Amino acid sequence: MGASGSGKTSMRSLIFSNNPASSTARLGATIDVEQNHVRFLGDLILNLWDCGGQDAFMDSYLTTQRSTIFQHVGVMIYVFDAETREMNKDLEYYRDCLEGLTQCSPEAAVFLLVHKMDLVREPKAIMFEKKREELQKASSGVVITVFGTSIYDESLYRAWSSIVHTLIPNAAVLNKHLNIVAAACSATEVILFERTTFLVIATSTSSTSSPSASTSSTSSSSASISSSTYAPSPPSPSDPHQMHIKRYERTSELIKAFKWSCSRVREEFHSLELDMYDFTAVLDEMTRNTYVMVVVHDPTIETAAIKLNIRMARKKFE
Ligand code: GTP
């Protein structure tokens, strides 16, 4: 949900339909609600509702359609245009929607995206911090997670990986299995991506940069705020190989762009091997709906051995 023009359909088009950011300028306003069913992991189907943000539609969601819109919600994602001139009006609608949500789906998680951060000229981290506080106040005690996002960089993948992660019922089991694969490959890290969206589903490490661990509670209130691309992020002290804090979302974004280039020359993307100076990375199909990336810093480990381990692990993940 969110005001008209805040960028809801654009992000859906990028993440779930593999379209490039440049194509979003052609999108028209969403009429009422557009529903999408995205088969995510095996039998897990993500039921995504894109609620057009024009005032007439918003008013109808809050009145006649109230029980349809706000019942059985797993996650509400509310998008704010970072450069909006109508923040007060946006906040008013947001408060009303939050009220509807807490009435009809009290268990639902709430994610707030301060979107179009690429357009912000003042220091982005300071602006984001201000917005975050404003949103925290407007949420009157409801637990929220805030991300700064843009369709022009990897920030959107970080936010959406985190959102989707909250919806996966067996995420902890996946983490455990990935740890076993990591140990078998002597890998520094193993990451599981969803096949179409390339969102991160689970990782073998439980570092602060993992999407599952990006939310932290603040002591001053019951709201919780995530670290974001646009907020200063602390270095990861537990990271022996100095791996980049944004590596997951950067990988999602780069592979999606690569897949798109492949499709333009009518080639299908299957796997990728990177042999760099200080590490090796193998990206390969794990199941019908997932890809796995194994990152190894030990130069004595052969790529073929990593691929063999992935092949042997497939059955466990199906
Ligand atoms: P409704 O369907 O009316 O509710 O609007 P919406 O929220 O779905 O907005 P939409 O996705 O149609 O985006 C409106 C405009 O914002 C488009 O021209 C997009 O190209 C642009 N846009 C979306 N995301 C971004 C972003 O991150 N940065 C910038 N600069 N523009 C964006």
Cβ atoms of 150 and 118 within 8 Å: the answer is yes
Does ligand 1 lie within 6 Å of residue 151's CB atom?
Answer: yes
User: Which residues, in sequence order, are bridge partners of residue 275?
Assistant: 280
110-144: pLDDT as tens digits: 999 999 999 998 899 999 999 999 999 999 889 99
43: left (phi over 0), alpha (psi -120 to 50) or beta: alpha
Does ligand 1 lie within 6 Å of residue 229's CB atom?
Answer: no
Q: In this model, does residue 247 exceed pLDDT 70?
A: yes
Q: How far is the centre of ligand 1, averaged over its atoms, from the C-alpha of 296 (Å)?
A: 39
**The pTM of the whole model exceeds 0.90:** no
Q: In this model, does residue 217 exceed pLDDT 80?
A: no
- Can you give the pLDDT at residue 214? 35
- Distance CA(167)–CA(177), nearest Å, equals 19
Residue 244 tokens, joined: 């980049």
* Closest CA to ligand 1's atom 22: 7
**What mean pLDDT comes out for the span 102-117?**
94
Q: How far is the centre of ligand 1, averaged over its atoms, from the C-alpha of 30 (Å)?
A: 11
Does ligand 1 lie within 6 Å of residue 34's CB atom?
Answer: no
Handedness of CA 229, 159, 118, 132 (dihedral sign): negative
Does ligand 1 lie within 6 Å of residue 96's CB atom?
Answer: no
Q: How far is the centre of ligand 1, averaged over its atoms, from the C-alpha of 10 (Å)?
A: 5
Choose which residue among 27, 115, 150, 230 to substitute to test ligand 1 binding: the one with the highest number of ligand atoms within 8 A of its C-beta.
27
